[in-house]
Amino acid sequence: MADSDCSEAASRPTTTAQTGPLQSTVTAHTGGVAVVPQFYGCHIKGPVNLNVSTSTAPVLCPDETSILQKPLTQALATNTGTCIKSVSEKLKSNLRKTFESILEGIIKKGPPTPLNKFYTDLYIIQGEGGGINHEHEVWNIDRGWKPQTSEDIPINLNDIFKPLPEENSKKEEKDERCAAKEKDVRVVLTKGIAGIGKTVSVHKFILDWAEEKANQDVDLMIVLPFRDLNAMVADNEMCSLQELLEEFCPVLRDVKDPKSYDDCNIVFIFDGLDESQLPLNFHRNRKVTNVTKKCPVDVLITNLIQADRLLPSARIWITSRPAAIHKVSDWITSHRLTEVQGFSDPQKEEYFRKKISDEVLSNRVVSHIKKLRSLYIMCYIPVFCWISATVLSIPDILNSLPENIPTTLSAMYTRFLVYQIQMKNEKYHGLHTTMPLSETDLNMILKLAQLAFAHLQKNSLVFSERDLKSYDIDVTDVSVHSGVFTEVVKEEDPVIREKWYSFVHLTIQEYLAAFYAFYLFATEGSNPFPEEKKPRRLRSAFYYEDEYDYEEDSVDEQEDELQLTASQQLESLHDLHKVAIDEALKSSTGHLDLFLRFLLGLSIDESMWRHFQLQTAREPGSLTRTVQYIKGKLREEDEGKLPSPERSINLFHCLTELRDNSLVKEIQWFVTSKSLSSQTISAAQCSALAYMITTSDEVIEEFDLSKYNTSREGRTRLVPVVARCIRAKLADCELTDKCCKIVVEVLQSRDAYLTELDLSHNHLMEANFNALAEGLQSPSRTLASLDLSFVNLEKSGQNLLNAILLGPKGQPRTLRLRGCGLKQDACDILAKAMEAPGAQLKNIDVSYNDLTDAGVETFLQALSRKNCELESLRLGTCAITEKSCATIGQILQQSSLQVLDLSGNCLGDGGVKLICTGLMSPHCRLQILGLKDCNLYKSSCHALAPVLWSFSELKELDLSDNDMPNAGLRLLLVGLRNSNCHLRTLRLSGCQVTERGCALLASALIRNPAHLEELDLSYNHPGDRGVQQLSARLKDQKCRLQKLNFEHVGEKRLKWGLKKYAVDLTLDWTDGVILSEDSKKATRDLAMSYHSMYSYDSDEEDITVTNRQKSKVEVKCVQHLSEGRFYWEVDWTGMIDIKVKHKGALSGSRRVWHFTTDDYFLVCSRDQYVASRIAYGNVQWLSYVKKPDPDPRRIGVYLDWPAGILTFYSVSAHEKVFLHSFHATFSTPVTPAFGFASPHPYDGTGSVSLRTL
C-alpha cells in the first residue's frame, strides 16, 4: 500500500463519512499496486473495518498513472521526494524572510540592514589556531591579529562540509586513509570568540542556501540554537525528534512519513554551544535510532550528533566559543574543526567601506584607524569594527580637536557609550543633548554598569528580566538603550519561555564594570570589591570561564547576588588600582584581565570624566606608583608569588594602558628571568607578547627568539616581532614555512627596522630558499648583516646565494655562511660578488665548508681588485693547505683585509712562512690573525717573530692548539719583547707551554710592557713558579697586561695533539649490553629484548625514525662533562652511533618518548658516516660523510663545552681525518653515549671500546 502525494492530499476537498457500512472491493495481481481510498474530515467513533477490492482499473489522474507504472519502491521514492521538495521550497521561503536582514547589535531601532549588502567574508580556517582554548578570551583577542600558521587551511563558508582538494599528489598518496575520511565530513565544529561573527556566518550560510546560491544538494536546513533548546530543558519536556523539529520548524509538519528524513540530505545547525544548558551526557545517554521515540531533549541532541544513531546521514554544524567546544569534540570520533578568526586586513577595510557609504568619510576612517595599531589590530573582531565605524562616523568627529578623537581602547568605548545615549535621546525624545550627560541618563548607565560589575564577578554573561529588576532596570528602558544592551532571543520564537538579555559584546560588559568601579571611587572614595570573597560560583550556561559547568541553578538563589558594599574607604587612585590588580591576579581564569585594563585606561581618560560629570583630577604620583607596583609584581623574585605567565602578560597590557614607555624592556626582562626559566610560555601567551611588542611605539634593539621557552607554534607566533626590531636572532628555532614568509614580508616592507638577521641552525627547504631569495631581492630594504650559518645550502641554496650577493639589492656588509655545505662553485659566486660594481661586502665567514684550495684560489684573486673593500675573511676548517698560502701572502700585501682566520686548516710551517711574506709588507693592514690548530711547530715561530717587530699592524694573534715547545716559544718571544711590537692579544692555549716558557713570557713583558693586554695560557703546564712570575706582571703598573688565563692547567697538557684533552671515561651498565670488567667495552647482548630510543608511534606511517632505529639500545658513560675541553677515542664494530646527550634529556610518557633538548651524534655504519642531531623531538640528518679508505673504525671525539663545539674525526695510527663539527650552546652537562642498532648481516654485532689515551 502507498500513501498518495501529501501535497495533493492537502488540496483535496473534505468528504463526510456516511452512516452504515461502506463496502467496495479492490483486487490487485501479485506485484501490482493497490490504491486505497483515503477519507478526510471524518469523525469516527468505534472500530472500523475496511475491505477494499475492485475488478476494474481505477480512474487515475496523469501523475498517479505514472506512479502506478513504476515499481513499488521507486514509486514510493518519487512520492516522498515530491513531498520533501515541496517542504524544502516552503522552508527556503521562510528562511529567506528570517535571515535576509540583520540588526547589527541594535534591537528595534531603525530599519534592518540587508545581510547581503553589508556582509563581509570572514577569515575561516580548517583546524584550530593553537589548540582548543581553555583560557580567557582576552588571549584570543590578542592572537586574533596573528599570521596564518603553516597548518592553517583557509576554507570558504559554503564549503565547510565539502572535501578540500589535496595540495599535491605526494600528500594525497601519503594520506590515503585521511583523504578517504575527509570525503565524508559529517560533523563540523566551528569555534570563535564572542563577537567574531559565528552567528552571522550561520545566517549567511542559511541565506545562501535559501536563495539557492550554494549547497543545493541539501534538501532541508534546520536551525536549532542552543539558547532556544534551553527553554525545553527547563520544562523537562519529553518529545521525539520529529516533534522537536516540527516545533522549531512548523513547515516540517507536512512531512507525514518520518522515514522521509532518512532519504534526504539534512543539515542541522546548532549555534551557540557555549550557551547551552544541556548536560550533553554522551557517555550516559541511551542510544536512540527512531525519530518517533520520545525522550529528553538532551538524549535527542547527543544521539543526533553521534554517528550511527539518529539520522546517521545528516550533517551537523555546531558553533561555540573556544572554551566549550570540548564538550562535543571529545565525543565525536571524526569531525572537521574550523575556526572563525575574524577579519583579515583587507576584510577590515572592506567592512568599513561597506558600512560607511560616504567614500570620502570611509577613507578617512580607515586612514585614522590604521594609524592606531592597537585599535586597527582589534578590528579583526567584527563587533569592534562596528563600534569603531559607529564612533568615527559621528558627524565632524574627525574634524574636531585632537583630544576629542578617540585614540585608545577605553576612549573608543567611552565615545561609543555616549553616542548611543545621544542617539536614544534624539530618536525617542527629540532632544539634542550635549556634554555632560543628564542625570537620568547617568543613572541608567550606572545601573547597567552595576549589573555588569556584579555579574562579571560571577562570570555571568546573560541576564533574565528578574536580574534586571533586581537592579531597578526597566526592561523598556533597556530596549531603548539597545545599542549597548540587547535581547539575545527573539520574541516571536515559539519555543521561548523567557527572555534573556546580554550586552552587545563581552568587552562592553567589562568596560561598564570598570566604569562602575572607577565611578564609585571618584564619587564616594569607596572600594567596589566586596569585603568577603566572591560568592559561590553561578553554574549556568552563560558562564565565561576556562572550565565550563552547565548544571542549572535554582532560579530562586537570590542570595548569590553580589553585595557591593564597600569594605573600606580608599585614600588615593593608586589604592583603587592596587586593589583591582590584586583581585585580577587572584583569578586563575583571568576573567578580570580586560576589566583591569579598562579601569587603568579610564583613569587617564579625561574625556570620560567630562562626559560623566566627574570632578576627579589626576592625582600626582598615583599613576607612577601604580606603574612601579605592576613592575614590582613582574619582578617578584619569589617564584611562589610570581604571577602566572597569563596574568603577567596582562600586566604588560596594563603598562601600555598607563602609557609607560618601558614596556619592551620589561618584557625582555620577564622572558629571561630565572623565575620564568622553568615555565613554558604557551602559544596564546606568545601571541599576546608579540601583540604588545608590535603595537608599542618602541623599537627593539635585539630580539632573540631562542630565549623564549615555548613550543614550535609559540615561536611561529612570535616571529612577527621581527618587524619591530633592529637585530633579529632566529637561530636554531625550527622555523616553519610560515615563519620564513613572515620574514620575507618584513624584508619587503619599507616600514620595517630590520638591519641584522640571524637564521642560522635552521633546517630550511627549497621553498624557503626561494621565498627568502625573493625577499632579499626586494629594493625596499638592505640588510647590514645576514647569518645563514649551518643552514644546508649545498643542493638548493645557489639561487639564494645569487640573490644575496648578485641581486639588484645592495649586498649585506656582513655575511656568515659557516657550515653551509658550500663547495667550489660557491666560491665562484663569492668572487663575482666581490668584483661587482658597488660591492659592499665587508665581512665574510665561510668557515666549516669544504672549499678546498681550488675553490679558495678562485675568490682570493678577487681580493686583489682595487674596488674590493673586504675587511674580514674567515676560512676556518675549509680544507685549505700550504698550496693556497702563497696566494694569501700576495693578497695581504695589497688588500684591505684587517681580519683573517685560517684556523683548523693543515697549513704547516711552510704555509705560515708564505703568509708571513705578506705580513711583512708595509702595505699590509691585517690586525687579527687566527692560526689555531694549523699543525704549526718551531719553524712557524721563527717566521712569525720578524712580523711582530716589523711594520706589521697585527694586534691579535691566536696560535692555540699548536704544539710549540719552549724552543719555538723562545723564537716567537724575540719579536714580542721588541718595542716595535704592538700585539695586544696573544693566545697560546694548549701549546705545551711550561714553567720555562712562562719565564720567557715574563721577561718579554718586562722588556716591552706597553702593549700586550691579554694572554691566554689555559690548558698548559706553567707550574706554580710560572703562574707566580706572570701574575706579578698584572700588579706591575708599568705593564698593560690586564687579563691572564691559567684555567685547566696541569702536567697532562704536555701531550701532543688532542690527547692533551683526553678524558678517562667508563661505561654505565644498562639492559641489552654486555660490559667488560673494566667497563671500557660494551657489546650488544642479543639475548635481551630490544628497546626503543627515539620518538615514534607504531600506528603511524610518518614516524620520526626509520624502522631499523626502532630496536636500538643505548649505553651511557658514567661521567658528565662541562666547563672544559675533552677528547676521547672509541673503536667500533657493527652499526652504532656515537653521541653526547644532555643530562636528563630523555623524557616521555606511555609509548611515545621524546628528547626535550638537543642530542648530537655520528652514525657509523659499513658504508658511511652520518652526522645527525635530535632537536625538538625530531631527528635531523645533517651531513653524509664518505668514509676514509681504508677505514680504521676508530673515531675521535673532541668537545669544547664552553665554545659549543663538538667535532668527530676518523683516527688512524698516522693521521686524523675531519668528519663533522657541531656548533651549539651547551647550557647543561653532557654525557658521552653509544647506541647499538639491531644486528645486520653485513654489519655484524655492534660493539664499542673506549681507548686509554
The verdict on residue 731 lying in a domain is no
* Cell, residue 610: 567630562
Is there a single domain that holds both residue 995 and residue 1050? yes
Distance CA 436, CA 608 (A): 10
Residue 906 lies in a domain: yes
**Residues facing residue 269 across a β-bridge:** 223, 317
Do 1007 and 1037 meet the contact criterion of CB atoms below 8 Å apart?
no
Contact indicator for 226, 270 with CB cutoff of 8 Å? yes
Identify the domain boundary among 47, 68, 89.
68
All cell numbers assigned to 409: 581602547
Q: Same structural domain for residues 352 and 316?
A: no
User: Cα(799)–Cα(779) distance, rounded to whole angstroms?
Assistant: 17
Per-state percent for the chain, helix, strand, coil, to nearest 5: 40, 15, 45
Which residue do the cell numbers 549567511 mark? 204
Name the H helices within 494-592. Answer: 506-524, 573-586
Which residue ranges in the chain fall short of pLDDT 50?
A: 1-27, 29-32, 40, 53-77, 105-109, 129-139, 141-151, 167-182, 479-480, 488-497, 532-567, 1089-1110, 1144-1157
1242/1126 same-domain check: yes
d(CA 912, CA 934): 9
CA distance 1081 to 1251: 9
Q: What is the CATH number of the domain that holds 1088?
A: 2.60.120.920
Domain span including residue 63: 1-68
- CA end-to-end span of the chain: 99
Q: Answer whether residue 570 is part of any domain.
A: no
362/430 same-domain check: no
Cell of 367: 586612514
Strand partners for 543: 460
Count of the separate structural domains present in the chain: 6
Please report the pLDDT score of residue 1196 as a whole number: 95
**Is residue 535 in some structural domain?**
no
8 Å CB contact between 892 and 926? yes
Q: What is the pLDDT of residue 1059?
A: 93
Bridging pattern class, strands 756-758 and 725-729: parallel
Residue 555 belongs to some domain of the structure: no
Q: Are residues 1190 and 1098 in the same domain?
A: yes
What contacts 967, CB < 8 A, 6 or more positions away? 938
Element containing residue 775 per DSSP (H, E): helix 766-776
Q: What is the pLDDT of residue 758?
A: 95
Alpha-helical runs (H) found in 842-956: 852-860, 885-892, 908-919, 938-949
Do both 977 and 1103 map to the same domain? Answer: no
User: Do 195 and 307 belong together in one domain?
Assistant: yes
Per-residue pLDDT, 1144: 41
CATH number for the domain including 243? Answer: 3.40.50.300
Would you list the DSSP string of 1007-1028?
HSTTS--EEE-TTS--HHHHHH
Question: Do 261 and 207 reside in the same domain of the chain?
Answer: yes
Residue 572 lies in a domain: no
Q: CA dihedral defined by 406, 409, 414, 417, rounded to 10 degrees?
A: 110
Question: What secondary structure does DSSP assign to 46-81, as a single string?
Answer: S--------SSPPP--HHHHHHHTS-HHHHHHHHHH
Task: Return the axis-axis angle of helices 439-457 and 409-429, rounded to nearest 10°.
Answer: 130
**Residue 208: per-residue pLDDT:** 94
- φ, ψ at 537 (rounded to 5°): -60, 130
Residue 125's CB is within 10 A of a number of other CB atoms, namely 18
> Do 903 and 940 fall into the same domain?
yes
What pLDDT was estimated at residue 45?
54
Residue 499, SS3 per DSSP: coil
- Verify that 1089 and 1235 share a domain, yes or no: yes
The answer as to whether 20 is a domain residue is yes
Sheet bearing 500-503, strands edge to edge: 462-464, 500-503, 485-487
> By the 8 A CB rule, do 1065 and 1145 touch?
no
User: Does an H or E element contain 691, and which?
Assistant: helix 683-695
Q: What is the pLDDT of residue 429?
A: 66
Asked if 329 and 291 sit in the same domain, the reply is yes
Residue 534 located in a structural domain: no
Looking at the structure, do residues 888 and 1016 belong to the same domain, yes or no?
yes
